[in-house]
A and B are shown apart, each in its own frame.
Chain A
Amino acid sequence: MPDFLLFALLGGLGVATVAGPLGSFVVWRRMAYFGDTLAHSALLGIAIGFLLDINLNLAVIFCCVGLALVLVTLQRQRMVATDTLLGIMAHSALSLGLVAVALLEIRVDLMSYLFGDLLAVSQLDLFWIYGGGVGVLVLLKLLWQPLLAITINEELAHVEGVNVPITRLILMLLIAIVIAIAMKIVGLLLITSLLIIPAASARRFATTPEQMAIGAAIVGCLSVMGGLTLSWHFDTPAGPSVVVAALGIFITLYALPAKQQQ
């Protein structure tokens, strides 16, 4: 196996493993559009990163977290409905990013940011994916109970002593980190699919949240392997191929008879 393929596989598996559990929260808490909005701001993060000459991964994380905070603040004002607000922010952030990239005359391969460049994963990327990924998984493990508690009911969680705003904020931070590291794999336009398709697939046969989180990670890894195989044999773009593979698994699972479905 050539090095670039091995790196692509390792990178993809790393991202899918983290995206599974976190994607489950995105599905449970109906944050798909929210995740999409954060992902759209990633390009703006790249532009800011170039401008300030800081690490691009960090710049994307900061930009996503910043946008998440702005979103939460604006949501509280209740000036417009949340989905309208998300729509405005998502496309404005993406457009701002495109405009900024053009204005700053940054030489970037836009396509690779929009749709991912899995086959160009480098050793340094792997370091970021696994460093960030382990960090996210450790935080998830530590905060698993409070995260589940606020997902079941935030008021109940508050009465039972969970610090709801902080827990929610940490979840957003984790999503921002995953977006930053997953951008390399599927690109910012397709990140949400890597979060929600495996989780939605795993829901089919899961009876506990833990089963769904682990199942989503497994489905994500299978999608990466399937997508890479597709890309290798038919010379299709790697990122979209992974999403197509995930879709295939999703449809297959839902087509199966649902004996165990709860």
Chain B
Amino acid sequence: MNHQHEPLIKLDKVNLHFGRNHVLQDITTELHKGCITTLIGPNGAGKTTLVRVILGLIKPSSGSIWQEDNLRIGYMPQKLQIDQTFPLTVERFLQTAQTANKETMIATLTDVGAESLFKQSIHNLSGGEMQRILLARALLRNPHLLVLDEPVQGVDINGQLELYNLISRIRDERGCGVLMISHDLHLVMASTDHVICINHHVCCSGHPEHVTNDPSFTELFGIKGSEQLAVYSHHHNHRHDEHGDVIPDPACDHSHNCNHDQGSPHA
């Protein structure tokens, strides 16, 4: 399994306070080479904040972050607003990532299915096209770790499946690690190796179960969808108060750090 691959980044008891808000609480996790890790959780759970901490954009209040020497990260932000006054073609935009020759750039664009946009102005792209260009730009850096913040945002459902397939193909071909945020609790791609569910703290993490054979699942999503979607089941043993703090469930001993590694298939 991919999990046995070497770690790229290790987080150890990372905490982050914004004023009185304890935004991240004792986050301990690892990201591995060749492994797709998906971060899920409700709105305001700290997913993007955690990614920003991992990227070094925010310094944690406490805890440590280890990363492999010379780790090259390809980052695809949630959205990129480029000022209208800034004249920029797709070609020139890709060049700002890495000095690459034309062939490499076109090959990468072809990889993400956007080769026809090469000469276009960046201001005329649709949401989905922009996502592909951002992905291509991240890939041009030949990253060890690809970090994607809600990569399918603003993309219709067919486009979402396509993009998820693309991401898993990229992982297969390049062997890089992938960390992505998914806003949706239920749509987690089948090829995700590791799911981390956070709500300020790590609620649970583990392997998503492939449930494509489950008849009720197929019924729910249709054949096409069920081949590519998996549901990571959620059996929480605790509830949250309005601050996201854990309210211990008396029936459950919380000291095991809500380990849901054996998450059972959803039926």
Task: Name A residues whose Cβ lies closer than 8 Å to a Cβ of B.
Answer: 27-30, 145, 148-149, 151-153, 155-156, 158-160, 200, 203, 206-209, 211-212, 262
A98 to B57, CA, bound (A): 42
Q: Which listed residue, B77, B121, B141, B147, touches A262 by the CB 8 Å rule?
A: B121
By a CB distance below 8 angstroms, the chain B residues around A156 are: 75, 77, 80
Q: Per-residue 0/1 for B135-173: is the Cβ within 8 Å of any A Cβ (1 yes, 0 no)?
A: 000000100000100000000000000000000000000
Nearest CB of chain B from residue A22's CB, rounded to whole Å: 14
A152 adjacent to B87 (CB under 8 Å): no
Q: Which residues of B contact A211 (CB under 8 A)?
A: 87
A158 to B96, alpha carbons, bound, how many Å?
13
Q: Look across to chain B and name the residue whose beta carbon is closest to the beta carbon of A164.
A: B57
* B88→A209 contact, CB < 8 A: yes
| Number of residues on chain B facing chain A (CB within 8 A) | 24
Asked if B11 is an interface residue, CB under 8 A from chain A, the answer is: no
Q: Are B85 and A148 in contact (CB under 8 A)?
A: no
In the A-B complex, list the 4 residue pairs whose CB atoms are closest, starting with the nearest: A262-B121, A159-B75, A206-B87, A28-B86
B69: Cβ under 8 A from any A Cβ: no
Tell me, rounded to whole Å, the shortest Cβ–Cβ distance linking B91 to chain A.
8
Asked whether A153 lies within 8 Å of B77 as measured between CB atoms, the reply is: yes
Q: Which residues of chain B are near A28, meaning CB under 8 Å? A: 83, 85-86
Bound-state CA distance A29–B83 (Å) is 8
Instruction: Find out whether the CB atom of A207 lies under 8 angstroms from the CB atom of B57.
Output: no
Given contacts A153-B80, A159-B57, A262-B123, is CB(A145)–CB(B96) below 8 Å? yes
In angstroms, Cα B92 to Cα A159, docked, is 19
DSSP majority for the A interface?
helix
In B24-80, which residues have CB < 8 Å from any A CB? 52, 55-57, 73, 75, 77, 80
Contact check, B80 vs A159: say whether CB atoms are below 8 A apart: no
Cβ of B124: which chain A residues have Cβ within 8 Å of it?
Answer: 262
Please name the residue on chain B nearest to A215 by beta carbon.
B87
Q: Which of B90-128 contact A (CB under 8 A)?
A: 92-93, 96-97, 121, 123-124
- By a CB distance below 8 angstroms, the chain A residues around B80 are 152-153, 156
Specify which chain B residues have a CB less than 8 angstroms from the CB of A159 in the assembled complex. 55-57, 73, 75, 147
Please name all residues of chain A whose beta carbon is closer than 8 Å to the beta carbon of B96 when the two chains form the complex: 145, 148-149, 152
A208 and B86 CA atoms in complex are apart in Å by 8
* Interfacial chain A residues near B233, Cβ < 8 Å: none
B259 on the A face (CB < 8 A):
no
For the complex, give the distance between the alpha carbons of A211 and B97 in Å: 19
Residues B88 and A155 in contact, CB atoms below 8 Å apart: no
Is B87's CB under 8 angstroms from A207's CB?
A: yes
Q: Is A209's CB under 8 angstroms from B86's CB?
A: yes
Which of B55, B87, B121, B141 is most buried by chain A, counting CB atoms within 10 A of its CB? Answer: B87
Residues of chain A within 8 A of B85, CB atoms compared: 27-28, 200, 203
- A145 CA / B99 CA spacing, docked (Å): 10
Closest-CB distance, B24 to chain A (whole angstroms) = 18
B237 at the interface (CB under 8 A from A): no
Question: Which residues from chain A contact B141 at a C-beta distance below 8 Å?
Answer: 160
**Can you name 17 A-B residue pairings with CB atoms under 8 Å?**
A148-B96, A151-B86, A152-B86, A152-B93, A153-B80, A156-B75, A158-B55, A159-B75, A200-B85, A203-B87, A206-B87, A207-B87, A208-B88, A208-B89, A209-B86, A262-B87, A262-B123
B267 within 8 A of A: no
Report the minimum CB–CB distance from B134 to chain A (whole Å): 9
Q: Name 12 extra pairs, CB < 8 A, besides A152-B93, A159-B57.
A: A28-B85, A148-B96, A152-B96, A153-B80, A153-B82, A155-B75, A156-B77, A158-B56, A159-B56, A160-B75, A207-B89, A209-B86
**Nearest A-chain residue to B76, judged by Cβ:** A156
Q: Which of A148, A155, A160 has the most CB of B within 10 A?
A: A160
Kindly list chain B residues whose C-beta atoms are within 8 Å of the C-beta of A203: 85, 87
Identity of the chain A residue whose Cβ is nearest the Cβ of B119 in the assembled complex: A207
Question: How far, in angstroms, from A209 to B96 measured CA to CA in the complex?
Answer: 11
A211 vs B75: C-alpha distance in the bound complex, in angstroms?
28
Shortest A227–chain B CB gap in Å is 24
Contacts of B83 in A (CB 8 A): 28-30
- Bound together, the chains give a CA A208 to CA B121 distance in angstroms of 9
Measured CB to CB, the closest approach of chain B to A105, in angstroms, equals 44
Chain B residue nearest in CB terms to A159: B75
